[in-house]
Amino acid sequence: MWTATILSPSHPSTDSPVDLGFFFDPFSVPFMARALTTVLVLAVASGIVGVFINLRNLEFISDGLVHAVFPGLVVGFVASGTDGLLPGALVAGVLAALLLTVASRRGVGSDAAIAVVLAGSFSIGIVIVSRETNYVSQLEQLLFGGVLTVTPSQLTQIIIVGVVAVVLVVITWRRQLFLALDPVGSRAAGYRSLPTEIVLNCAIALLVVAGSQALGNLLVLALLVVPVAIARLLVRRLMLLAPLAIISAALAGWLGLVTSFHASISYGITASPGSLIVIILITLYAVALLGHLLVERIRTARRAVPHTCFEHTGQHPVLDLDQDVSARRRWSARFRRAV
Amino acid sequence: MGFFELAILEAALLGALSGIVGTIVVLRRRAFFTVALTHATFPGGVIAALLGLNILLGAAVFSIVLVGIMLVISRVDRQGSQVASGVVLTFGFALGALLQSLNRDMSVQVDTFLIGNILTVSPGDIAVTAGVLVLAVLCVLFAGKQLLFSSFDPQGYRLAGFRPVAIDLVVLGLIAATVVVSMPAVGSILAIALIAGPAVSARLIMRRIEWMIPLAVLFGLVSGVGGLWVSRVFSVAAGGGIALTACAIVMLAVAYDRVRQYRAERSANGGREA
């Protein structure tokens, strides 16, 4: 895809013992710089929104939104090419956010309902795209995206949509936190949970729309879910979750782009940059997980008191913050004062 | 037998199997787990295709590995089962996409794994599906009571002296086997429609639990065979046709449930006024 001629003339090799140019030079090429900007924007936005996905266990709903945006992408793409992607996806995303909010509130068997919405909307997309002539390559483009082919106008769209998603969450920040940490208290304080839930689900849908154009429909979910999961392994402080998530996503995005660039230039290997980014992100997660398990083991060995009373049952994954009663009281008090 | 007869046979077998296993998935709330597993078979299929092995084998081995990883993550505090499914799901897709992008000249195309192709299914695939179906029927016949008990009252099940781990393993095995055998026919993404759809419809229509499985099997059969017919008539992807038919049945079941509730409410109100 790349030829070496794009690079070589403007970059004399540096004299420093560690060649940092390896990590920074690729981004002097315009399309690489755009790819990096896209990934960084997405990292910041999904780090902030992702905190609430994690705290409220919305991973499955997010997956549902990801799949539900797909028919919108297809219809938009079939109607008017790459320009149609954003409008189509926006309509489908907002519709799906409303539908899934209602479906998930229906209590009994709600996860099966999400599964049906997810599969149904995805198959609508598949059926439409399968009537196109060269549908395999189109399908691949829609599912796995092309972070390297992001155009300047697409980048602007991604930034706008991402900013709107973040603003939605930041405006309702207190309510979102209150609902996530103390749903009963939030309702008792007179807040209706439905509008708060709809706002959050719309923000997730917007991010999915923004990310779908760059990373592809299926890989966006990784950015929404994995960085915050890494942050939760590393720290207990709530306010550190978003910054750490952003840092890990940005790191993975940057390393993924650099790796795919050099693999292509030096070895002629065409590795899809989007999937490389996700693989690196999950490698970071694996390292954090192993580190976390190691630290826990050392701690329990030092304490030598098994804390069986907080053992997970496996059936109901309990939020750690929920168990920490004092932290919850502190937060509730703070909310009541603030409200 | 021609390829279309083979496809009908496979669709019928898969529909019946999905009806049985789907009921278990819905009752035990393992839908997200199943979705994660279906996505995770994608890289297994790609690896098998690269090595020249049977796709089913690759998917089966990889799904066992990923079930293990999910179990580990879901036991770590501050992570839980939702995060575990999310991580494994995205890992599966990213790995599959990466391997696929590294081997552009691979003979098998990406849509084979993602949405399947029931029209190219081999007699071997059908035999394996039939085998898993027999296994599922046997499980329900001999362990049906335990399955129900542990689904509705996990604590009571443990206190009554049964081992929940054993029944969990049986359920995981059944789900994984179903996901794997449905991959060549309906692909990694659409399998969940056939697994969850019939069971959800059956649950909406039937209040009695013992009728759920037969009804779900019936809906599964209708979705499989009817979907195939739909795809032939309208010339769309077969996997998409099957998934859409399953979802259409869910819509009808929801409508039926609404009408029934509305009538019940009206007759209750009428009774009060009279």
- Report all structural domains of chain B as residue ranges with CATH numbers, in order of start: 3-273 (1.10.3470.10)
Q: Inform me whether the pLDDT recorded for B36 exceeds 90.
A: no
Q: CB atoms < 10 A from the CB of A283, how many?
A: 13
Residue A27 forms part of a structural domain: no
Q: How many CB pairs lie under 8 A apart between chains A and B?
A: 191
Q: Which of B95, B102, B197 sits opposite A116 (nearest CB)?
A: B197
Contacts of B86 in chain A (CB under 8 A): 59, 62-63, 221, 225-226, 229
List C-alpha distances in Å: A137 to A141, A144, A213. 6, 10, 15
Q: What integer pLDDT is reported at residue A335 of this predicted model?
A: 65
Chain A contact for B203 (CB, 8 A cutoff): yes
Residue A9 forms part of a structural domain: no
Amino acid at site B151: S
Q: Which of B31, B82, B101 sits opposite A275 (nearest CB)?
A: B101
Alpha helix (H) residue ranges in A106-151:
110-130, 135-144
Q: Taking CA atoms, what residue in A is nearest to B78?
A: A320
Compute the average pLDDT of residues B131-156.
86
Q: What integer pLDDT is reported at residue A249 of this predicted model?
A: 93
Rg (CA), chain B: 20
Residue A218 forms part of a structural domain: yes
Report the domain count for chain A.
1
The residue with greater pLDDT, A287 or B43, is: A287
Q: What integer pLDDT is reported at residue A5 of this predicted model?
A: 40
Residue A8 forms part of a structural domain: no
Residue A157 forms part of a structural domain: yes
Q: How far, in Å, CA of B168 to CA of B165, rounded? A: 5
Mean residue pLDDT of chain B comes to: 84
Over residues B70-124, the pLDDT tens digits come to 888 887 877 878 888 888 888 888 888 888 778 766 656 666 777 777 888 888 8
Contact A282 B200 (CB under 8 A): no
Neighbouring residues of A215: CB distance < 8 A, sequence distance ≥ 6: A42, A144, A145, A147, A222, A223, A274, A277, A278
Give percent helix, percent strand, percent coil of chain A, each to the nearest 5: 80, 0, 20
CA distance to partner chain A, nearest, from residue B147 (Å): 15
Q: How far, in Å, CA of A130 to CA of B236, rounded? A: 6
Q: Which of A119, A221, A272 sits opposite B196 (nearest CB)?
A: A119
Q: What integer pLDDT is reported at residue A307 of this predicted model?
A: 47
Rg (CA), chain A: 22
Q: How far, in Å, CA of B80 to CA of A317, rounded? A: 5
Residue A3 forms part of a structural domain: no
ipTM of the complex: 0.82
Q: What integer pLDDT is reported at residue A133 of this predicted model?
A: 65
Q: Inform me whether the pLDDT recorded for B249 exceeds 90.
A: yes
List C-alpha distances in Å: B19 to A113, A270, B9. 16, 42, 15
Q: Which of B87, B154, B247 sits opposite A116 (nearest CB)?
A: B247
Q: How far, in Å, CA of A66 to CA of B134, rounded? A: 35
pLDDT band at A11 (very low <50, low <70, confident <90, very high): very low
Q: Inform me whether the pLDDT recorded for A172 exceeds 60.
A: yes
CA distance to partner chain A, nearest, from residue B53 (Å): 23
Range of the domain at A319: 37-338
Q: How far, in Å, CA of B214 to CA of A313, rounded? A: 32
Query: Residue A77: CA atoms inside 13 Å, Cβ hemisphere, count?
Result: 24
Compute the average pLDDT of residues B31-47.
84
The residue with greater pLDDT, A181 or A144, is: A181
Contacts of A218 in chain B (CB under 8 A): 93, 97
Contact A130 B25 (CB under 8 A): no
Q: Are A103 and B72 in contact (CB under 8 A)?
A: no
pLDDT band at A14 (very low <50, low <70, confident <90, very high): very low
Residue A231 forms part of a structural domain: yes
Q: What integer pLDDT is reported at residue B82 of this predicted model?
A: 83
Q: What integer pLDDT is reported at residue B98 of this predicted model?
A: 85
Over residues B48-70, the pLDDT tens digits come to 888 878 888 888 888 888 888 88
Closest to A154 (Cα-Cα) out of A76, A213, A78? A213
Compute the average pLDDT of residues B207-224.
89
Q: What percent of chain A has pLDDT over 70?
A: 80
Contact A130 B77 (CB under 8 A): no
HEC string for A29-68: CHHHHHHHHHHHHHHHHHHHHHHHHHHCCCHHHHHHHHHH
What's the CATH number where A162 sits? 1.10.3470.10
Chain A contacts in chain B segment 220-249 (CB below 8 A):
235-237, 239-241, 243-244, 246-247
Q: What integer pLDDT is reported at residue A45 of this predicted model?
A: 92
Our CA dihedral for B156, B160, B166, B167, rounded to 10 degrees, sits at -50
Over residues A259-276, the pLDDT tens digits come to 888 888 787 777 788 888
Q: Which residue has tokens 């230039």?
A: A265
Lowest mean pLDDT among A65-79, A308-322, B247-261: A308-322
Q: Inform me whether the pLDDT recorded for A10 exceeds 70.
A: no
Q: How far, in Å, CA of B118 to CA of B130, rounded? A: 15
- State which of A79-83, A115-119, A314-318, B176-180 shows the largest mean pLDDT: B176-180
Compute the average pLDDT of residues B229-243.
85
Contacts of A57 in chain B (CB under 8 A): 80, 82
Q: How far, in Å, CA of A103 to CA of A90, rounded? A: 20
